[in-house]
Amino acid sequence: MSQIENKEFTGPSNLSALDRRDFMKYMGLFSSMTLLSSCSQKADHIVPYAKEVAEFSEKNYEFYQTAFSDHGFAQGISVKSFQGRPIKIDGNPLHPYSLGATTPEAQATLYELYHPERVQDIKWKGKTLSRAAFTEELQKEMAQWGTGEGVVIFYRPDHSPTQIDLIQNLLKRYPRLHVLSISKWKQTSTALFDLDQADLVVSFDEDLFFQRPDALLHSRTFMGRRVEAIRSNQAQHLNRLEVYESSPTLLGAKADHTEILRPEEIWNDACDLLELMRGKSVSNPRMLRLKSLMEGKKTHVSVARHLSPEAQDLEMALNSTTDYRNVKHELPQTDEFSQIQTLVSQGKIHTIISLGENPFEEDLELKKVPLKISLSQFLTKTLALSDVQVGEAHFLETWGDLKAVNGDISIIQPLINPLYKTLSVLEFLMVMTRDSSRPLELLKKKYSAPWSEALQTGLIRSQEKLNPSPNGNKSFTKKSPTQNLILKIAADPSVGFGEHSDNPVLQELPKNFSKLTWQNAFHLSLETAKSLKIQDGDKIKISNGKATATGPVKILPGMASNLILATLGYGEDYGSFIKKKRGYSLKNFQEGDPIEVKKDLGSGKLAMTQETLFTPGQEPVKTSPFPIPAFTPKKPQPSLYPGHPLPHQDQGPQWGMTIDLTSCIGCQACVVSCQVENNIPFVGEEQVEKGRILHWLRIDTYRVNENTFFQPVPCMHCEKAPCEVVCPVNATVHGNGGLNEMIYNRCVGTRYCSNNCPYKVRKFNFGAYSTLKSPWNMGFNPEVSIRDRGVMEKCTYCIQKIKEGEHTGKAVTTACQNVCPTKAIEFGNIRDPGAQVSINKATSLNYDLLEEEGAVPRTSYLKVVRL
Amino acid sequence: MNIDQRLSVLGEERSSFLFKLLFPIAGLLTLLSVAIFVLLKYGVEVWGINVPVAWGFAIVNFVWWIGIGHAGTFISAILLLVRQDWRNSINRVAESMTLFAVASAGLFPLLHMGRPWYAYWLFPYPNDMTLMPQYRSPLVWDAFAVSTYLLVSLIFWYVGLVPDFAVAREQTQSKFKRTLFGVLSLGFSGEVKEWASFKKASTYFAIIATPLVISVHTVVSLDFTAAQTPGWHSPLFPPFFVTGAIYSGFAMVLCLLILIRHRFQLKDIITEHHLESCAKFLLMSGVIVTFFYVIEFFMAWYGDEFYESKIFINRMFGKKNWAFWLMLICNSFFIQILWFPRLRKKEVVLFIVSLIVLVGMWMERYVIVISSLMDTHLMTTQGNYVATRWDWMLYIGTFGIFFFGIWLVLRFLPFIPITEVKELDHK
């Protein structure tokens, strides 16, 4: 398997011309090759079954439970593998921080595994080494370390107990070693609380639904309770959400009441709330209102960490009455990064080892460090400037373990033999600790008892006692409110802090509110932009006195005044062709920096998938009051024409879908899941800019009267489909299950169907988009056709899954439905009155998008219920 | 020099001038070949089209060229049937124009496809899977209408040429041409019986061609009318398109006639009367087209349909409003000077107005195709369209086909109908 490069063997062209000497040479070569291959290190093999095993005979793919590192914590996933290749990732329903859902990042990780520009071997000062030679070299080097003085190890802050053990072992052996991690997503303490118990959820600028290791759990529990209350019309069970935010968040979009405030105002409000709770009198109308709402309600309050270094303490104090717990997760750390910087400039560091980190992106006087060793999956500045460059294995290729936020442990198990000569962080640390066993043995030793169960369920329940946080009486200092133009720094909604910047699928995933792809921009409110005389797309240069950054402006409704939101994850000079030289970097900028703006630098491009959030005169997202009115079946619209019944409508299931817009939080996991399941290629920045993104499912985002709405739009599978009538060659037709089917082979590419589709869900292969660089195509789903240049394509309701359901008799679920953290998408047989989709359609909340077009869509929406 | 002699050797007399014309034409054809090569190599991604603007320059140009063709058939068929004898001296130029305009037009729907090599799937042909086209689609009607039109135009043009080939056969000095024209004239010798048959055939083909003038552009307009897309879905389109076609067609006829008349010194054969008659048609169709513009807006307002109104407001004030205003100025404003009889006899005035009308009619198709598609039902799917250099190259390149065709006629064929002019002379 490791011989992935399938180089053709070219023997001597004319065998009969072999003389005796040549013959002996070849024989010698072949026999030495045979011998050499048999004396290599004992390896773990992942081999296909030679004989068919009964349990796998009905389908030819398998599922394995493993874990994805979501900001260092485990997100349980279940990986579908076809003939030894992982091809799709779904959530692990048993895992408490997945509950069957996944984040877009976990879905898209296959595009990192099969990335053509991964670091593929071990290079020691320019020389390619085998793993054994590398082990020898490194251990020779380490023999001179003594107490470890002058050696720095940067490691990725994953909460892997085995990894931490190994680092502790290293520290024991080399007590003066410097160990630290500097990833911006590092988290050493997390809050534990049950949102389904909270009657009122208050957030001070914190997005509980997004980019947190517990985001999936929070989305599920909060929305689960809300939807249950709505469906049963129980007002007392309905939870309330109050959000105070400085820039748009997914949580704020779902709030019953949102206040847009500057960060320091939010901090002061949170401090005021604490004073009110402690019985002091405060003249803050916002907090007085909130306090009155909190009466008699079980309330959870969260405070964003970026507001102040004391934010966590304030959060603890504000939640002192509930079962809120704050849990510390230890990660070994001997120094702060600034100390390392000083040591390096003093010339006291002789070796830097970076394990999956990128410290050289920061200011370090590297000339004074003689030996730099870097382990990395992709080219980074650190890797490029290192003397020893080691390729890092993807987590789907390795053994490991990872802790969830609540302490539960998941075993990371490999699904594929390493594609390249790479090492995992764990293996690297094992080389350093002179542990000659294999990671598998190490893990088996640690988790001996529940081993096979742990692999099957993907979970080892934590026995750790999690203590409630101390109930302190600490008081907090308020900040003086200003109206200066200041900077807010956030992770990029798609590529995060940069850890996913090499992933093309995430690069092309439209950012939740700005709908930008492949780049970052500066976001400000319309009023601020007007006062600065800046328009959408204008290039600006921001400066804080120490550094500058240049990029285009994208105005966002819902931003606080005089606040510039800038996102991380871009602007690096090193990286694969996906990451390199995109957007601006925020190096040397700090949260809250006062900012000066230089404008008139021309205009920059904005590769957006949606130009405006406003929809004057239209109501694509409908709202309903609470309690919801009783259901009255819709009367058919009068028509002069006789209805034309669908063929075979009396036979077999009729497929339909409902999407609950109350519970859709706009996280876009469904978009990526659809993309991976259906082999939808990414098209690149230039093509997105030209309006040729291929996503079959998009999230339309609207802003109506200060409220934000998300609306996932797949193909509607209209019963009277406008696309079918205009196709000149019968390439799009109606199937028995009521599906609007697309026959790729028959399509000649007139694109008339797209013109006639009111929803514009049809996507066209303007170029040869599906010709991805090898080995990205290894991740393609073998059950879905690859679409050629010049062919129309669109959502098929995952017809391959429907067919599989027909064969196996199991319930059919679509890819988008599977990963939805809030279960907003329901799919099923609308002829079966007991199916959830039929129940949903028989409520007063059900409505059709663009009903006036008379296309009778099978996909319908459930109105947003507003209090 | 009698008329026979004079008219049959027009091309030969000016062969050196015509030879020089070959260079720009060759340039245009090179442009066309490069544009087609790049298109086939990389696919339609080299164009500016996208979702939602899935139809772009290709369809704009197709409709424009087809429209231009219409005046030819109108002049040769309808004016023949209604016995407008003045048409006789210009009908060959008009018909040739039709032929090559339709040929240029026909290129676009073919190249516009994502997979043009399967274009034959639009026609019913026997195959082992018994697959037939989907007859509800206007594109299938289009395929039939345009191919019929091309075929009928070709036959009609050729039938009219038969006696002239006979004259040219007698007049030419070159041996090669004598043989060629001999074959092409089908042995026409000028007997009374032959003349009677010729007259009859001309009338029959005129009768067949006449409904095509109406039907082809009607069917083309149904591509838009039959769609559910706002801005397209309008029963006004068939007459609107036909009038527009005649409008642009007469503009092109006038341009060609003025150039030919000027260059070949045919002021006695293509007289001011001809120019004025064409100008009157131009004025009439221009006024009707303007009327349709007004009606379109009236219907959008009167119909009070949200998406339709939105489109018409955006036409005036939206992203591509320059196209709309340019169209309106070109098509409805400048044409008004033709109300003055003195001006509509002036070559220069007519030439400039015709060129403006040609630009205006191209803009009209641009507005209908592109700005309607940009404005979708949902605000989230609003699109934009920027034509690329390959779009422009292909468009400009098709002038190569058109002018090369016209050039061949001018150089080698009697482009003023000898027999019909003589007939007129006798009267």
Strand-pairing partners, residue A373, are A353, A388
Q: What pLDDT was estimated at residue A31?
A: 67
Q: Are A145 and A299 in contact (CB under 8 A)?
A: no
Q: Please tell me which of the candidates A610, A691, A692 has its beta carbon nearest to residue B380.
A: A610
State the DSSP H helix or E strand holding residue A522, giving kind and residue range, or none if neither.
strand A522-524
The Cα of B37 is separated from the nearest Cα of chain A by a number of Å equal to 15
- Looking at residue A49, its pLDDT comes to 59
Q: Which of A216-220, A490-494, B152-156 has the lowest mean pLDDT?
A: B152-156
Binary contact (A759, B381; C-beta < 8 A): yes
CA angle A653, A659, A664 (to 5 degrees): 150
Token duo for residue A79: 């990986």
Per the CB < 8 Å rule, is A687 touching B139? Answer: no
CB contact at 8 A, A852 and A706: no
- pLDDT tens string B164-192: 888 888 887 788 888 888 999 898 888 89
- Is the pLDDT confidence value at A16 over 80? no
Question: CB–CB of B42 and A767 under 8 A?
Answer: yes
Q: Do B114 and A789 touch (CB under 8 A)?
A: yes
Contact state of B384 with A615 under an 8 Å Cβ cutoff: no
pLDDT in tens, B81-108: 777 777 777 888 888 999 999 999 999 9
Cα separation values, B168 from A720, B89, B173, B184, B188, Å: 61, 16, 10, 10, 11
pLDDT band at A78 (very low <50, low <70, confident <90, very high): very high
Going by pLDDT thresholds of 50, 70 and 90, the confidence category of residue A2 is very low
A255 to chain B, closest Cα gap in Å: 22
Q: Does B228 touch chain A (CB under 8 A)?
A: yes
Mean per-residue pLDDT of chain B? 90
Q: Give the mean pLDDT of chain A.
A: 89
Sequential DSSP letters for A804-863: HHHHH-PPP--HHHHH-TT--EEEEETT-TTSHHHHHHTSTTEE-TTGGG----SEEEEP
pLDDT of residue A51: 59
> Could you count the other beta carbons within 10 Å of the beta carbon of residue A348?
14
Q: pLDDT tens digits for A609-652?
A: 998 899 988 899 999 998 888 888 877 777 776 666 665 566 78
The residue of chain B nearest to residue A792, with distances taken between CA atoms, is: B114
Q: Is B51 helix (H, G, I), strand (E, B) or coil?
A: coil
Q: What span, in angstroms and rounded, lies between the C-alpha atoms of B260 and A344?
A: 85
Cα(B17)–Cα(B327) distance, integer angstroms: 35
B131·A746 Cβ contact <8 A = yes
Predicted pLDDT at A467:
62
Strands A539-543 and A548-555, by their bridges, are antiparallel
Six-digit token pair at B155? 């036959």
Mean pLDDT for B291-318 is 92
Q: Is the CB of residue B229 less than 8 Å from the CB of residue A755? A: yes
- CA-nearest residue to B58 within chain A is A750
Token pair listed for B250: 């007469």
Contact B114 A754 (CB under 8 A): no
Q: Which residues of B touch A791 (CB under 8 A)?
A: 114-115
Q: Enumerate the residues of chain A whose CB falls inside 8 A of the CB of residue B48.
A: 690
Neighbours of B317 (CB within 10 A): 9
pLDDT band at A9 (very low <50, low <70, confident <90, very high): very low
Peptide bond into A627 cis (omega under 30): yes
- Mean pLDDT value of segment B8-24: 80
Residue A39: per-residue pLDDT: 47
pLDDT tier, A192 (very low <50, low <70, confident <90, very high otherwise): confident
What is the reported pLDDT for B74?
A: 84
Q: Is the pLDDT of residue B52 over 70?
A: yes
Out of B43, B55, B134, whose CB is closest to A755? B55
The B residues from 129 to 148 touching A (CB cutoff 8 Å) are 131-134, 136-140, 143
What percent of chain A shows pLDDT beyond 90? 67
What is the per-residue DSSP string for A235-270?
Answer: GGG--EEEEEESS--HHHHT-SEEEE--HHHHHHHH
Tokens of A600: 């008139």
CA distance B242 to chain A (A): 22
A752 contacts on B by Cβ (under 8 Å): 54-55, 137, 139, 223, 227
Q: Is the pLDDT of residue A515 over 50?
A: yes
Q: Are A756 and B50 an interchain contact pair (Cβ–Cβ within 8 Å)?
A: no
Asked if A791 and B140 come within 8 Å (Cβ–Cβ), the reply is: no
Average pLDDT value for residue range B138-152: 92
The tens digit of pLDDT for each residue in A761-811 reads: 999 999 999 988 889 989 999 899 999 999 999 999 999 999 988 888 889
Which of the four pLDDT bands, split at 50, 70 and 90, describes residue A827? very high
**Taking CA atoms, what residue in B is nearest to A686?**
B45
Contact (CB<8Å) B55/A751 = yes
pLDDT in tens, B238-251: 999 999 999 999 99
How does residue B75 score in pLDDT terms, banded at 50, 70 and 90? confident
Report the residue from B51, B139, B306 with minimal CB separation from A728: B139
Please state which of the ranges A221-235, A432-446, A455-469 shows the lowest mean pLDDT. Answer: A455-469
In angstroms, the CA A271 to CA A266 distance is 9
Mutate to test the interface with A, among B38, B112, B134 (most CBs of A within 10 A): B134
Which alpha helices (H) appear in A126-210, and where do they start and end?
Answer: 131-142, 161-173
pLDDT band at A327 (very low <50, low <70, confident <90, very high): confident
Q: How many CB atoms lie within 10 A of CB A113?
A: 22
DSSP per residue, A42-102 = P-------SS--GGGSSSSEEEEEEEEEETTEEEEEEEEEETTEEEEEEE-TTSTTTTT--
- Bin B57: left if φ > 0, else alpha if -120 < ψ < 50, else beta: alpha
Which residues fall within 8 angstroms of residue B77, CB to CB, at 6 or more apart?
B156, B205, B206, B207, B209, B210, B212, B213
Which residue of A lies nearest to B109 if distances are taken between CA atoms?
A750
Distance CA(A400)–CA(A163), nearest Å, equals 8
Phi, psi of A136 (to 5 degrees): -60, -50
pLDDT at A18: 64
Quote the pLDDT of residue A3.
Answer: 42
A-chain residues near B386 (CB < 8 A): 690
Q: How far apart are CA B20 and CA A495, in angstroms?
A: 61
Indicate if the pLDDT at residue B404 is higher than 90.
yes
- Chain B residue nearest residue A614, CA to CA: B379
Closest residue in chain A to residue B226, using alpha carbons only? A726
Confidence of residue A57 (pLDDT cuts 50, 70, 90): very low
Per-residue model confidence (pLDDT) at position A32:
66
* Residue B235 preceded by cis peptide, ω within 30: no
Question: How far apart are alpha carbons B327 and B186 in whole angstroms?
Answer: 47
List Cβ neighbours of A684 (8 Å cut-off, separation of 6 or more).
A504, A508, A518
**For A550-570, what is the mean pLDDT?**
94
Q: Provide the shortest C-alpha distance from residue A288 to chain B (in Å).
A: 39
Query: What DSSP letter does each residue of A409-456 carry, written as one string?
Result: EEEE--SS--SSS-B-HHHHHHHHTT--S-HHHHHHHHT-TTHHHHHH
Question: Tokens 């092309």 belong to which residue?
Answer: A508
> A755, B310: Cβ pair inside 8 Å?
no
* Contact at CB, A728 and B383, closer than 8 angstroms: no
> Angle between the B272-303 and B347-366 helix axes, to the nearest 10 degrees?
30
Cβ separation A766–B49 shorter than 8 A? yes
Q: Which residues of A268-291 are buried (b: 16+ CB within 10 A; e: fewer)?
A: bbbbbbbbbbeeeebebebbeebb
Count helices and strands in chain B by DSSP H and E runs: 17, 0
Mutate which: B38, B42, B45, B127, vs A, most A CBs within 10 A? B45
Question: Where do the DSSP E strands lie in A162-207?
Answer: 178-180, 189-192, 200-204
Q: Are A258 and A237 in contact (CB under 8 A)?
A: no
Give the span between the Cα atoms of B224 and B237, in whole angstroms.
Answer: 8
b/e per residue A382-413 (b: at least 16 CB within 10 A): bbebbbbbbbbbbbbbbbbbbbbbbbbbbbbb
Q: For chain B, how many residues are written?
A: 427
